[in-house]
């Protein structure tokens, strides 16, 4: 062979290696899967497929969604997982696991298993009848992994789950739709608030441990928000619109226990699997100073009826505010899309008092360098 032919052949292989290498790297960077577990704060439509009263599939839900139609999200527009997908640069939002569209290559993007009304405890949300409790969300996740294996092979499926980002949002309903649902509840007869928090955290620890067994390696866990400031609680328990002490205290007992519990798990696992988002403080920032965030109120819900527009459900007959962007709360329990934007900003770029032990930008930078 002449030197020139050797050169051409070498060049060919060099180019082959480079062209092979670059698309793979890019592909890997843009296809990190996203898995979501939890309640109505992160449900993007699973309950549409269930016989439950916990649903957001009629107007005016979705009024500010790109299609202006209800989607099952408890928001005027998109919700937390959508915004996270967007900022992570994913080409498409993750689909609800029960959606018939979640097939084929779309499985590679992850899946959302969340179901409105559920809690850490199985007895939370019994009034909503058929909803997907955590053990059911996890068995669907196992089913998902099998379907993914069929699609891409077992090794690739394991890699996808291994490198994925997970979001889990639980706990609020164990208080507002269980312990504090009625003036006296079975759980409030059984436990004081601090005892209940300790019990719920011990069950949450089991759930998070199971999540790691199922393959999760990077998990954002949101603490509970300022439950006493929800319009639903202002409507029923607040005399003058002050956030309700008893529920605020419950959040303030629960959240430090959550941080302590996840720190302990991280220590045992040998690295920071669990990252806690301080949802309490993230919400309090705009609740304490709504005007500074461009809201006219943080007490009155946009869609509802009665005191603080916080009584009952948001339905086509409810009173509806004309401009959702100037309200912190969309309905009696859930923030508006715009308020969620401030929360997502804090999840990505917040200081260590908001994201423990570090924010999502830092995590993404670390994970991309592995
Ligand atoms: C919830 O129910 C499932 C299935 O019956 C069970 O495996 C799980 O331990 C229960 N969890 C709690 C917290 O009671
Ligand atoms: C985080 O900060 C970066 C850099 O300032 C910015 O580009 C990005 O949009 C921020 N992320 C969010 C979710 O606000
Ligand atoms: C969080 O994110 C921003 C960049 O997006 C970074 O500058 C900051 O140092 C990060 N960490 C903490 C603890 O604030």
pLDDT in tens, 136-191: 999 999 999 999 999 999 999 999 999 999 999 999 999 999 999 999 999 999 99
Q: Which residue has its alpha carbon closest to ligand 1 atom 10?
A: 122
Range of the domain at 262: 30-368
Ligand 2 atom closest to residue 347's alpha carbon, by position in its atom list: 13
How high is the pLDDT of residue 313? 95
Whether 74 is covered by a domain: the verdict is yes
Q: Which residue has its alpha carbon closest to ligand 2 atom 3?
A: 349
pLDDT tens for 319-348 read 999 999 999 999 999 999 999 999 999 999
Pairing of strands 219-222, 165-169: parallel
Closest-approaching ligand to the CA atom of 351: 3
How high is the pLDDT of residue 127? 86
How high is the pLDDT of residue 251? 98
Q: How far is the centre of ligand 3, averaged over its atoms, from the C-alpha of 346 (Å)? A: 10
Angle at 330 between CA 326 and CA 333, to 5 degrees: 135
Whether 10 is covered by a domain: the verdict is no
Whether 8 is covered by a domain: the verdict is no
Q: How far is the centre of ligand 2, averaged over its atoms, from the C-alpha of 282 (Å)? A: 16
Q: Which range scores top for mean pLDDT: 2-11, 201-210, 361-370?
A: 201-210
Which of 8-22, 81-95, 154-168, 277-291 is the least confident region?
8-22
DSSP one-letter code for 99: -
Hunting for tokens 């050169």 — which residue is that? 7
Whether 5 is covered by a domain: the verdict is no
Maximum distance among all Cα pairs of the chain, rounded to whole angstroms: 92
Ligand 1 atom closest to residue 135's alpha carbon, by position in its atom list: 3
How high is the pLDDT of residue 23? 39
pTM for this prediction: 0.91
How high is the pLDDT of residue 180? 97
Q: 49, 166, 27, 176: which is closest to 105 by C-alpha? A: 27
Q: How far is the centre of ligand 2, averaged over its atoms, from the C-alpha of 295 (Å)? A: 21
The CATH number of the domain holding residue 147 is: 3.40.50.1110
Whether 7 is covered by a domain: the verdict is no
3-state SS string over 147-181? Answer: HHHHHHCHHHHHHHHHCCEEEEECCHHHHHHHHCC
Whether 174 is covered by a domain: the verdict is yes
Residue 268 has pLDDT above 80, yes or no: yes
Whether 321 is covered by a domain: the verdict is yes
Here the tokens at position 171 are 């706990």
Whether 328 is covered by a domain: the verdict is yes
**Signed CA dihedral, 265, 268, 273, 276: sign only:** positive
Number of domains composing the chain: 1
Confidence of residue 24 (pLDDT cuts 50, 70, 90): very low
Q: Determine the average pLDDT of the residues in 120-144.
A: 95
DSSP one-letter code for 327: B
DSSP assignment of 28-75, as one string?
A: HHH---EEEEESTTT-SSGGGGSSBS----STTTTTTSTTSS--S-SS
Return d(Cα 52, Cα 75) in angstroms, integer.
18
How high is the pLDDT of residue 6? 52
* Cβ partners under 8 Å of residue 203, min gap 6: 120, 121
């Amino acid at each position: 062979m002449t030197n020139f032919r050797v050169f051409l052949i070498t060049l060919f292989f060099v180019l082959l290696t480079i062209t092979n290498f670059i698309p793979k790297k890019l592909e890997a960077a843009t296809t990190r899967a996203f898995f979501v577990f939890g309640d109505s704060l992160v449900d993007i439509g699973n309950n549409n497929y269930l016989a439950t009263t916990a649903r957001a599939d009629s107007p005016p839900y979705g009024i500010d969604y790109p299609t202006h139609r209800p989607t099952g999200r408890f928001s005027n527009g998109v919700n937390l997982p959508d915004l996270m997908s967007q900022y992570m640069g994913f080409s498409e939002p993750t689909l609800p696991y029960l959606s018939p569209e979640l097939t084929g290559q779309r499985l590679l993007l992850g899946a959302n298993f969340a179901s409105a009304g559920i809690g850490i405890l199985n007895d939370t949300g019994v009034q909503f009848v058929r909803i997907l409790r955590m053990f059911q969300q996890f068995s669907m996740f196992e089913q998902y992994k099998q379907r993914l294996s069929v699609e891409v092979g077992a090794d690739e499926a394991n890699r996808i789950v291994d490198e994925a980002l997970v979001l889990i949002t639980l706990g609020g309903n164990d208080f507002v739709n269980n312990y504090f649902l009625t003036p006296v509840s079975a759980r409030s007869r059984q436990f004081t608030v601090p005892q209940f928090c300790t019990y719920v955290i011990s069950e949450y620890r089991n759930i998070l441990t199971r999540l790691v067994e199922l393959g999760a390696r990077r998990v954002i866990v949101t603490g509970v928000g300022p439950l006493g400031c929800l319009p639903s609680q202002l409507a029923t328990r607040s005399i003058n619109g002050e956030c309700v002490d008893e529920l605020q205290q419950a959040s303030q007992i629960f959240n430090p226990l959550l941080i302590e519990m996840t720190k302990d798990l991280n220590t045992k696992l040998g690295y920071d699997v669990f990252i806690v988002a301080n949802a309490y403080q993230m919400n309090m920032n705009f609740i304490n100073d709504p005007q500074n965030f461009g809201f006219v109120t943080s007490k009155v819900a946009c869609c509802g009826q009665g005191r603080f527009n916080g009584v009952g459900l948001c339905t086509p007959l409810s009173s509806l505010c004309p401009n959702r962007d100037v309200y912190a709360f969309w309905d009696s329990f859930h923030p508006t899309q715009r308020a969620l934007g401030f929360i997502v900003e804090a999840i990505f770029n917040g200081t260590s008092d908001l994201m423990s032990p570090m924010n999502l930008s830092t995590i993404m930078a670390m994970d991309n360098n592995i």
